[in-house]
Amino acid sequence: MLERLNEFLNILIGSLIGVFIAHFIFKYSVYKNLDFTKHPDLYELQSIPWYTTVIIYGVAIALIIFIAIIIKLLIKKKMQDI
Instruction: Give residue limits of the domains in the chain.
Output: 2-81
Residue 67 predicted with pLDDT over 80: yes
Give the pTM.
0.73
49-70: b or e for each residue (b if 16 or more CB lie within 10 Å)?
ebeeebeebeeebeeebeebee
Average pLDDT over residues 5-25: 89
What pLDDT is recorded for position 60? 93
Average pLDDT over residues 5-29: 87
Question: What is the longest distance spanned by two Cα atoms in the chain?
Answer: 62
